[in-house]
Chains A and B, each alone.
Chain A
Amino acid sequence: MSKRWLIATITALSLIVASCGGDGETATTAGETATTAGGATTTAAEGEATTTAGEPAESTGYEHLDQAMAGEFEGTTVEIVAQWVEGEEENFNLALDPFREATGIDVQYEGLPDYELALQTRVDGNDAPDLAQIAQPGKMAQYAGDGVLVDISGWFNVDKLAEEQVEGFVDLTMVDDAVYGVYYKTDVKSIVWYPVAPFEEAGYAIPTTWDEMTALSDQIIADGNGNPWCIGIESEAADGWVATDWLEDIVLRTAGVDFYNQWWKHEVPFNSPEVLAAAEQMSAIWFAPDYVYGGNVAINATNIRDVANPMFDPAGPQCWFQKQASWIPEFWPGNRDVPDRAEWENPPGEASSFFYLPGIDPAVGNPVLGAGDMFVMFTDGDRPEVRALLEYLATPQGAQAWIEVGGFISPNTTVPTDWYTSYPNTDLVPILNEADAFGFDASDLMPAEVGAGSFWTGMVDWVAANGEGTEEIFQAIEDGWPAG
């Protein structure tokens, strides 16, 4: 009897030990790695400099990146996630490859569909990646408030970053004195795509003022050439954001960037008269008879990826204008699921080109609405290989491959302009440079309840009502603005 007791107990105990043993072991190894790495951080800067004096590597201006380039972190792994899938995933991997090759660090990129929720779920489940892309500064502030983000200001060369990037981007990554992110990518949203050949055939001219644009819209209808505008705001769990972009662009053009910044900071009511006036201006296009392909029902029913399909109808354009950022050609018919841009059926710049969404009030001038993607750091900054990758992403080289492929604008002004070789950006960068003001996508800056909630759904309701009840809808958004 007593022997059986013994055996059973031993078995039970060893099972427990076996299952916990793994834990303990990993913890120790991790601890060791951390200590050695920590040691390296303090001494390596000098040590490396002397040992590799034979062939001095050019300094990147970033401490950990220099160390990584010297091969100090070879064999380590960094996990990075972003919303970029399919073609964009390939492009981002191209941009990461030089870092992988130079440092020997295994950078594991994963593009997550339904990104914002997927990331949140992983963070909540204590399974946060090392680095993650975030499109909404408000989301960054929320993560920072939750205490899950690393404040990089202690070791990141923020001064260098602020000097190199377009004015205002570093401010967007700051909460009080802490810095939580590095802007990697930016985008200009104030552009309108049109089908070049039919447009020229019809003898139309590119509008340079808002009035010219509406006159041209009337002209298209009068000519019996279908509807002037292609608009769709269906976007899976983010329905409505295209409409918020429109309204923001118009607020920027009618009320100016100073009001615009007060507006997203909620220093003025969401439904200020200026905003209602902008909505009025917007409905003159969105809800005017025959202006939009399929009318308001189509606006709500059409996924953003399908919006331009009628523009490329074999029988000729059924609609002519699509206001969308420079990434949209990836989703046009004949381009989708074709990773090689050279094989695109509707290459931007040939099949379709864009013009700047004209200004409205000459006193305000020609502002640009834009957005951007930053990277934030979830894991403890003691892992120098993670720091090195974040620093790499701040350099022009960190985006070079993607810039050269196209579809990418860096907020970094030190990027040589001749890297922008492909069409949209050769024409976009001047728009960005010549803009009278830059407004960051307001819905990305508002609290999530509004910017990713009531503003989106409010616009969907507004479209469903075909522009009726503007005041009530905007009042409801104002009423729902979270306290504090």
Chain B
Amino acid sequence: MAEAVEARLEANRRPRWTIGRDISVAAAVVVLIWLGLRVLRSETALDALGPFGGKLVQALIGIVLGVVGIWALFVVANSLVELLPARATSVLRPYLFVGPAIAVVSIFLVAPAIGTIIQSVTEVPEGEGPFYNFVQAFTDPALQLALRNNAIWLILAPAGALLIGLVFAALVDRVKRESLAKAFIFLPLCISGAGVAVIWRFIYEWRPPGQPQIGILNAIVTGFGGEPVPWLQEIPINTLALIVAFIWIQTGFAMVILSAAIKGVPIELMEAARIDGAGELQTFLRIVLPSIRGSVITVFTLSAIAVLKVFDIVYVTTNGNFETDVIANRMFNEMFRFRNFGFATALAVVLLLAVFPIIVINVRNLRRQGIGA
């Protein structure tokens, strides 16, 4: 039996290259990468193309090198593994392909996270205990405000995105040009957070009464005879205004996931419900919603994580002024403006701990759906 498997494995292998082809391909890759690196490292090689052309070619070379490099890495490593006995090959090969991903995650995510945790308890003034930064974080009035705001965000933003996304998903299911409608709602997700913030800054723009209002919202308000409202200064409207900007981004994401889930609800189930006399709303609430529960949880938890990390919208619109500060913005300021590494890393750890339970919920939800092991 085992021999049969081995024989099949042997037969399934790539047709062997001739040695000449092997060498020439390997040499070509080496030469290509070497040349590319030469060009990238040289400060003058691309000058002839002008500043823009140079940068463009540089980017292209980078992309080609990256893709070819990764490809070469896998091919070379794969052929190395294939030289082992067939059984060892079949055991090792999965690790070969998963390995680099694990390595990258470890180096760029796990290691810095551990470093951050260590720094948050070691970067303390002399004579203070390891939790000094955390005590500071929770007693600092500015930070309590940020924590409060994050809580408001957490309560309103994911729920808002979910609800609106759900409504869109249910409605868009019956629209004639469904994909077009979806594309429009999905569009904001394609814009960077900072870009969205700039857009909403303009929407909320305030000019003194009597001046032409260039912000659409105040243009409408004054158009109906009202006084312009300083949306970004007025507490607590300003935090809500920022949350609206976030929901605007996140709704598209919620809609796409939920719309796919709704389509997965068995049509027989719905028909059965209708035959039993259920109305549209009842069908939706009693049949559709329970069927897509898993997707709802996924959307909610992912939105919640995004909310805890929210930074760009606040930074660009109010920079945390007028009581709109959030932890991530605070962390950014402490880190890059004030250079308080201990305090900033402590905030990062607080965020990490806050995100953790949400991730647990999400993973358990995925398991229940049979995704992930």
Contacts and interface: CB of A to CB of B under 8 A. Distances in A.
Contacts of B320: 457
Interface string B302-344: 0000000000000100011110000000000100111110000
Contact of B83 (A5, A120, A237, A449): A5
Interface stretch (A12-20, A126-134, A337-345, A425-433): A12-20
Category for how many chain B residues contact A = 35 or more
A399 B6 CA distance: 79
Interface string A171-213: 0000000000000000000000000000000000000000000
Given A4-B22, A18-B37, A460-B322, A11 B336 contact: no
Contact of A8 (B69, B80, B230): B80
A239 interface: yes
B91 interface: no
Contacts of A43: none
Contacts of A476: 141
A452 B337 contact: yes
Contacts of B80: 5, 8-9, 12
B22 A449 contact: no
A301 B83 contact: no
Nearest to B340: A449
Nearest to A306: B207
Interface in A1-54: 1, 3-5, 7-12, 14-15, 18-19, 21-22, 26
Contact of B336 (A7, A117, A236): A117
A230 to B, nearest CB: 11
Nearest to B30: A14
B15 interface: no
A4 B79 contact: yes
A12 B322 CA distance: 58
A26 B336 contact: no
Given A21-B34, A77-B43, A8 B83 contact: yes
Contacts of B29: 11, 15
A1 B19 CA distance: 11
B337 A448 contact: yes
Contacts, number: 102
B206 interface: yes
A237 B37 CA distance: 38
Contacts of A116: 337
A464 interface: yes
Contact of B26 (A11, A240, A310, A453): A11
Nearest to B333: A453
Contact of A239 (B38, B230, B319): B319
Contacts of A483: 125
Given A11-B76, A453-B333, A293 B208 contact: yes
Interface string A262-302: 00000000000000000000000000000001110110110
Given A7-B22, A447-B338, A448-B337, 8 more contacts: A12-B77, A12-B80, A18-B34, A22-B38, A237-B315, A297-B208, A453-B333, A457-B320
5 contacts: A7-B26, A9-B80, A11-B29, A11-B30, A142-B339
Interface of B: 19, 22-23, 26, 29-30, 33-34, 37-38, 41, 43, 69, 72-73, 76-77, 79-80, 83, 125, 141, 206-208, 211, 230, 232-233, 315, 319-322, 333, 336-340
